[in-house]
């Protein structure tokens, strides 16, 4: 299975503290962690400042599951790349959105909502409870994950009702958050996973990496991508599965297109 880890990769270049935790970038830490944990994943990386943000057609086409970490430069991701990734998800590619990626263009586009939340950066304790113990993403995790220092994200999280919830977080400062949420969009699966701040070593935590490996397997497509998902396919009357006779008027031409005057 081909996994691509996408990272904004600017904090690590600009900030000493972030660099001390992720010297080769968050993407490299996740990639290495996944390789170490799960030999079934073929992991590569891509970052914002590469050509086409490292997400050329060839890369996206050959990616089974894309991970997305962004924070301060969501708007720097170009429209063609957002559209390419969006189309790939609808056609079957899996997408795992990490932490501050909740405000990324691709996540907001797939959700159709604001994706906003409350937040606080105080290094407080977080405990992610497994609310769905039989779910493949929770496999091997036990009843909860405890993280000693995290940024808080609090409800309300303005997303469509999750189709499945895997984790809900408790925070030391008194908030809760739906931290592991699943949706299906077209033929693709989307998983949002909350932990992952740039100034705490979250992606060195073995349980967090196990969740990410599990999520890759969960989000992977079944079979080939479905093409042509954006097109409204016309089915002429003579090709109907049941015999019908065309009745009534139309503003369409016989080929299904709208006549010139209508456009």
Residues 137-166 that bind a second copy (CB under 8 A): 139-140, 144, 146, 149, 152, 154-158, 160-161, 163-165
Near a second copy in 201-260, by CB under 8 A: 221-223, 226, 229-237, 240-242, 244-252, 256, 258
Near a second copy in 113-142, by CB under 8 A: 113-114, 116-124, 127, 129-136, 139-140
Task: Tell me how far apart the alpha carbons of residues 94 and 220 are, in angstroms, rounded to a whole number.
Answer: 5
Task: Tell me how far apart the alpha carbons of residues 189 and 191 are, in angstroms, rounded to a whole number.
Answer: 7
Q: Which of 18, 26, 31, 65 binds a second copy (CB under 8 A)?
A: 18
Pick between residue 44 and residue 127 the one whose CB is nearest to a second copy: 127
To a second copy, the closest distance from the beta carbon of 177 in angstroms equals: 8
Burial label for 168, CB within 10 Å (0-12, 13-18, 19+), is buried
Distances (CA, A) of 20 to 13, 31, 194, 230: 10, 17, 22, 45
- Is residue 70 a contact residue for a second copy (CB under 8 A)? no
Pick between residue 54 and residue 186 the one whose CB is nearest to a second copy: 186
Q: Quick one: residue 233, left, alpha or beta (phi over 0 = left, psi -120 to 50 = alpha)?
A: beta
Specify the pairing of strand 164-171 against strand 118-130. Answer: antiparallel
Question: Binding residues for a second copy, how many (CB under 8 A)?
Answer: 100
Q: Which of 200, 203, 209, 211 binds a second copy (CB under 8 A)?
A: 200
Pick between residue 30 and residue 141 the one whose CB is nearest to a second copy: 141
To a second copy, the closest distance from the beta carbon of 162 in angstroms equals: 8
| DSSP state string for 2-60 | EEEEEE---HHHH-HHHHHH-TT-HHHHHHHHHHHH-TT-EEEEEETTSGGGG--HHHH
Near a second copy in 73-92, by CB under 8 A: 73, 90, 92
To a second copy, the closest distance from the beta carbon of 10 in angstroms equals: 7
Task: Tell me how far apart the alpha carbons of residues 83 and 80 are, in angstroms, rounded to a whole number.
Answer: 5
* Torsional sign, CA 113, 70, 137, 185: positive
Q: Which of 96, 110, 145, 213 binds a second copy (CB under 8 A)?
A: 110
To a second copy, the closest distance from the beta carbon of 149 in angstroms equals: 5
Pick between residue 17 and residue 57 the one whose CB is nearest to a second copy: 17
């Amino acid at each position: 299975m081909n996994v691509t880890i996408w990272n904004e990769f600017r904090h690590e270049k600009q900030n000493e503290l972030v660099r001390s935790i992720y010297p080769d970038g968050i993407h490299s830490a996740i990639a290495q962690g996944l390789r170490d944990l799960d030999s079934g994943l073929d992991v590569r990386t891509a970052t914002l400042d590469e050509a086409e943000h490292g997400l050329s057609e060839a890369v996206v086409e050959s990616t089974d599951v894309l991970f997305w970490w962004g924070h301060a430069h969501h708007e720097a991701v170009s429209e063609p790349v957002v559209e390419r990734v969006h189309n790939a998800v609808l056609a079957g590619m899996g997408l795992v959105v990490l932490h501050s990626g909740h405000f990324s263009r691709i996540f907001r586009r797939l959700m159709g909502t604001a994706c906003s939340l409350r937040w606080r950066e105080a290094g407080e304790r977080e405990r992610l409870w497994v609310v769905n113990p039989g779910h493949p993403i929770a496999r091997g995790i036990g009843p909860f994950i405890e993280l000693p220092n995290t940024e808080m994200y609090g409800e309300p999280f303005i997303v469509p009702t999750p189709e499945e919830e895997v984790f809900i977080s408790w925070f030391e400062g008194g908030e809760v958050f739906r931290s592991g949420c699943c949706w299906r969009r077209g033929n693709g699966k989307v998983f949002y996973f909350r932990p992952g701040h740039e100034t705490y070593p979250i992606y060195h935590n073995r349980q967090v990496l196990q969740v990410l490996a599990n999520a890759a397997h969960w989000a992977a497509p079944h079979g080939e991508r479905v093409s042509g998902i954006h097109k409204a396919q016309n089915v002429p009357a003579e090709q109907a599965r049941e015999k019908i006779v065309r009745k009534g008027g139309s503003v369409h031409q016989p080929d299904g297109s709208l006549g010139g005057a209508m456009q």
